[in-house]
Amino acid sequence: MSDENVLFEVKDSHLDTGMRGIPVGTCRTSFVDPIDGVHYAGYPIADLADIDPEDAAFLLFNKRIPNEKESQEFRQDLISRSNLPSGSTDLFTAIGTGTGHPMDWLSIGIMSLGRGEVENDIFSDAMNLIAWMPELMARLFMMRGGRGELVNPSNPSLGMAGNFVSMLGVEGDDAVRAERILRSFLVLHMDHGGGNLSTFAGKSVASGRASLFASIASAMNALSGPLHGRANQSCLEFVQKVGTSDPNEVESFVRSELAAKRPIFGFGHAVLRAEDPRATVQMKIGEEVCPDDPLFATVRTLREVAPRVLGENPKISNPNANVDLVSGTLLHNAGFRKPDYYTTFFGWARVIGISAQIVDERNSRGGKGVPIYRPKYLARDQPVRRL
Ligand code: AMX
């Protein structure tokens, strides 16, 4: 690409819009098409829904699907890295059962894992963190929930989702269903282009050569906001509030929420202009694993009714379902009954995609790495004054 290419003309109207749509760099892990949704290294997400999270992680780091041998080697590598640095979850005891949002625990936990940092090897740090996440998550759930130690010790050969479910002590058919739902949740949520807030936050902190752990913890703090990752918590709470799957009642509910100027959670998107394929995939999973779940029945009716009602408002660019419409209901069905924990699953998935993007940026410019981020802010309403 020649330097003369004009990619974007910044106008006054672009200022103070959160850099919306302004190109700032390149991303090799994924891109988001307004109609077909996110693609990981070129593969549409709908085609990847059934792969294992380990293979999706390999894809994001290596930009290709692993063959059988590579897949096994990647899993073995994660297994060999899986012992948490000693004492890294002691802080959880200090915070105290039930206090603080689970996303705060996730961020603190990742910072604490930083004691296992490998000097000058950000790729090893990324692989270690990915290998440590299942146990960190399980300890977070057990300790914040006041249940103390893991029910079963970590067994990384079960895979990241299977190991997490096992550490919590879920058994039998419940474990099979929980693992199925979690595996697809992790794959579907790993990456979403380079400019979403948490990814951008993580990469900008990393550009100052902060550690991978500090950068990812910053990303998790960004993800915790209600306008960003915490929306999946709000979506389940919304579905629970609807409380019916009768189409007429659901339509009245949607209209009354709109009249009260409240959002219809699970619909609309800043970039997508069709139903998010991740919602489509999760609807299929719901039909497979929990077609009779009353919450899923509500989601099914909402998906039929809400786009029609929202579509009556020409201001709404996309009245269709987004990823959060279904994900909370599936997690609830998997046995995770507390919506305030849902963003931690989202965070776990994003640790993988954001780490891959940070490693890419650190390897750019022939290994020099991306320069420290420094966008320009224009001075307005600040005449020079003297005391
Ligand atoms: N319910 C009610 N109003 C909606 C709406 C919805 N689902 N979707 C859009 N609108 C409104 C916007 O608030 C905006 O109103 P305003 O002009 O008064 O500010 C107007 O329609 C135009 O919005 P837009 O250009 O279509 O979308 P946006 O980029 O401003 O907002 C989003 C996108 C996701 C914040 C919005 O669709 C929304 O609030 N959805 C409901 C909450 C939700 O499901 N969030 C999860 C999103 C998925 C994700 O990114 N995690």
Q: Is 101 a catalytic residue?
A: no
Q: What's the mean pLDDT in 280-304?
A: 97
Return residue ranges of the chain for CATH 1.10.580.10: 54-228+343-367
Rounded to 10 deg, the angle between the 212-223 and 197-207 helix axes is 150
Q: Are 113 and 84 in contact (CB under 8 A)?
A: yes
* Residue in 39, 189, 192, 269 annotated catalytic: 269
Residues 328-345 as b or e (16 or more Cβ within 10 Å = b): bbbbbbbebeebebbbbb
Q: Is 189 a catalytic residue?
A: no
Return residue ranges of the chain for CATH 1.10.230.10: 231-333
CATH code of the domain occupying 231-333: 1.10.230.10
* Residue nearest to ligand 1 atom 40, measured at CA: 268
Decide: 342 in ligand 1 pocket, CB within 6 A: no
Alpha-carbon distance of 331 to 281, in angstroms, equals: 14
Query: Can you give the pLDDT at residue 232?
Result: 86
- Residue to mutate (ligand 1; options 32, 264, 271, 345; most atoms within 8 A of CB): 264
pLDDT higher than 70, residue 73: yes
* Residue in 101, 228, 293, 340 annotated catalytic: 228
Q: Is 324 a catalytic residue?
A: yes
Atom of ligand 1 nearest to the CA of 228: 51
Query: Can you give the pLDDT at residue 244?
Result: 98
Give pLDDT tens digits for 308-324: 999 999 999 999 999 99
CATH code of the domain occupying 54-228+343-367: 1.10.580.10
Query: Can you give the pLDDT at residue 3?
Result: 65
Cβ of 101: how many Cβ atoms within 10 Å?
16
What is the dihedral angle through the alpha carbons of 113, 118, 120, 123, rounded to the nearest 10 degrees? Answer: -80
Contacts of 56 (CB under 8 A, 6+ apart): 40, 48, 186, 187, 190, 352
Contacts of 353 (CB under 8 A, 6+ apart): 29, 30, 60, 190, 191, 192, 199
Percent pLDDT > 70 in the chain is 99
Handedness of CA 218, 222, 224, 229 (dihedral sign): negative
Q: What is the pTM of this model?
A: 0.95
Decide: 315 in ligand 1 pocket, CB within 6 A: yes
